[in-house]
Amino acid sequence: MTGSTSDPTAVTHGDRLDHWVSSYATRARSMTASEIRSLFAVASRPEVVSLAGGMPFVQALQADDFADMVAALIRDRGAVALQYGSGQGDVRLREQISSEIMTPVGIAAHPDDVVVTTGSQMALDLVVRVFCDPGDVVLVEAPSYVGALGVFRAYECDIVHVAMDDEGLNPVALEEAIARVLASGRRPKLIYTIPSFHNPAGVTQGAQRRSEVLSVAKKHGILLLEDDPYGLLGFDGPYVDGSAPRAIRADDADGVVYLGSFSKTIASGLRVGWAVAPHGVREKLVLAAESAVLCPSNFSQLTVSQYLATQPWTEQIKIFRELYRERRDALIDSLAALMPEGTQWTVPQGGFYSWVTLPEGLDSRAMLPRAVAALVAYVPGTGFFVDGSGTNYLRLSYCYPEPERIREGVRRLAGVIEGELELLNTFGRTPNASNTKGSDDLVQTPPTNLL
């Protein structure tokens, strides 16, 4: 349909492919698909070793036992499991979260303080919905979780990155960032942090670091949003016996909203996560959840609840930890053996990711098509920043491929990096190196399986 300029009521679509493009809300402008999506469509072919996606290895679950449990659930409690439920979440599951899942991270939460959500991604969305107006400043780590950046962008927040070091969020840099924002006449609304086994940086805040970060937040009265989907998946250093890092919220129930998830400890497909929040915040979150989805899936919640009640879930987490430790070792050992000089990486003590710094002058986004052609995929660093930085970083995930495939993937990647270095040494730059500073197309949303 093409509008006529003489008729003011006519809708002008011109020859646009999307006829509704001029009708979208302002916030939808930041919801755009990444140009690297098409590359990742290729990267999901079986011949490509994907070190890109952060998918938990759910094949390690006892499928038959799970199936029997779900069948029994439907048979015995189907009328509840298949029905609408409460906006705040199933009360028995909230009790289990409080009494069993929160204890290892040191949180003593009443079940009333827990809000069950459709994955912790939804909890993130609800917190931002409740706290942030367009233009509000949120402080996030540099780099930060792509899915959180997507939420902050969707609510039109002003995202300010804060430097990290090998212990995660740097409290001095945090203090400086807050001072800069205050000097501009604004107050940050939230500090968003992933203290344990960071996505994508692979680092963990120690106890001292956590208390410093908390002190800065408290001093300025800024709400801390603690995102902890990987806390129970530590396998090394102080976490070698599976002991989880103590949550920041354990030391300040009033100043911290804690987000948890069953995606990595049970199954991401169930889409069950939760928030633990101060009383007043919790009430707002429930109202926001009801307007978004009425209630989280009763079926999924009862499945999780039944799983916790009847299956050896702590043993299963041990199995996951051991599996991910073995894959982490395969990744780190082969990086050490094969990567060209000048390449660096973090050695995670848990979780799914290692953050790689390329030799100077290389651009991970420009290199991606050549990596995919060499049958290996990763996520370029630029996806984890909103300001166009990150070109010489990339994220590698070791959670999904078998160790042998990981080794092969690193071998291919090392070959690609060697090739890039050769081009750089010959021509002074690599082909298509993105002149990316400030470029807006870097912060678009990748496919969900890359989060």
Residues that bind ligand PLP (CB under 6 A): 54, 119-121, 145, 147, 194, 199, 227, 229, 261, 263, 268, 273, 451
Q: First and final CA of the chain: distance in angstroms?
A: 38
**Identity of the residue, 131 or 352, whose beta carbon is nearer to ligand PLP in the bound complex:** 352
- Give the C-alpha separation, 73 to 159, whole Å: 44
Burial 417-445 (b: 16+ CB within 10 A, else e): beebbebbeeeeebeebbebeeeeebbbb
CB of 47 to ligand PLP, least distance (A): 25
- Give the C-alpha separation, 385 to 443, whole Å: 7
Identify which of 447, 114, 136, 449 has the alpha carbon closest to the alpha carbon of residue 274. 114
CB of 440 to ligand PLP, least distance (A): 23
Residue nearest to ligand PLP (CB): 119
CA atoms within 13 A on the CB side of 233: 34
CB of 332 to ligand PLP, least distance (A): 20
**Identity of the residue, 94 or 412, whose beta carbon is nearer to ligand PLP in the bound complex:** 94
**Identity of the residue, 399 or 416, whose beta carbon is nearer to ligand PLP in the bound complex:** 399
CB of 16 to ligand PLP, least distance (A): 34
**Identity of the residue, 113 or 228, whose beta carbon is nearer to ligand PLP in the bound complex:** 228
- Give the C-alpha separation, 350 to 239, whole Å: 8
CB of 304 to ligand PLP, least distance (A): 12
**Identity of the residue, 194 or 339, whose beta carbon is nearer to ligand PLP in the bound complex:** 194
**Identity of the residue, 210 or 412, whose beta carbon is nearer to ligand PLP in the bound complex:** 210
Under a CB-based contact definition with an 8 Å cutoff, are residues 86 and 294 in contact? no
CB of 433 to ligand PLP, least distance (A): 29
33, β-bridge pairs? 445
**How is residue 396 annotated by DSSP?**
E
CA distances from 335 to 39, 354, 355, 365 (A): 24, 10, 12, 19
**Identity of the residue, 131 or 353, whose beta carbon is nearer to ligand PLP in the bound complex:** 353
Under a CB-based contact definition with an 8 Å cutoff, are residues 252 and 218 in contact? yes
CB of 5 to ligand PLP, least distance (A): 47
**Identity of the residue, 87 or 296, whose beta carbon is nearer to ligand PLP in the bound complex:** 296
Four-CA torsion 216, 257, 273, 320, nearest 10 degrees: 30
Q: Please, where are the H alpha helices in 157-278?
A: 171-183, 207-220
Parallel, antiparallel, or unpaired: how do β-strands 223-227 and 393-397 relate? unpaired
Identify which of 143, 141, 149 has the alpha carbon closest to the alpha carbon of residue 380. 143
CB of 55 to ligand PLP, least distance (A): 9
- Give the C-alpha separation, 382 to 172, whole Å: 24
CB of 29 to ligand PLP, least distance (A): 24
**Identity of the residue, 266 or 414, whose beta carbon is nearer to ligand PLP in the bound complex:** 266
CA distances from 418 to 88, 341, 346, 412 (A): 53, 10, 20, 10
**Identity of the residue, 119 or 171, whose beta carbon is nearer to ligand PLP in the bound complex:** 119
Three-state DSSP state, 390: coil
**Identity of the residue, 265 or 436, whose beta carbon is nearer to ligand PLP in the bound complex:** 265
CB of 65 to ligand PLP, least distance (A): 22
- Give the C-alpha separation, 202 to 335, whole Å: 15
CB of 224 to ligand PLP, least distance (A): 15
- Give the C-alpha separation, 228 to 187, whole Å: 25
Identify which of 79, 84, 56 has the alpha carbon closest to the alpha carbon of residue 297. 84
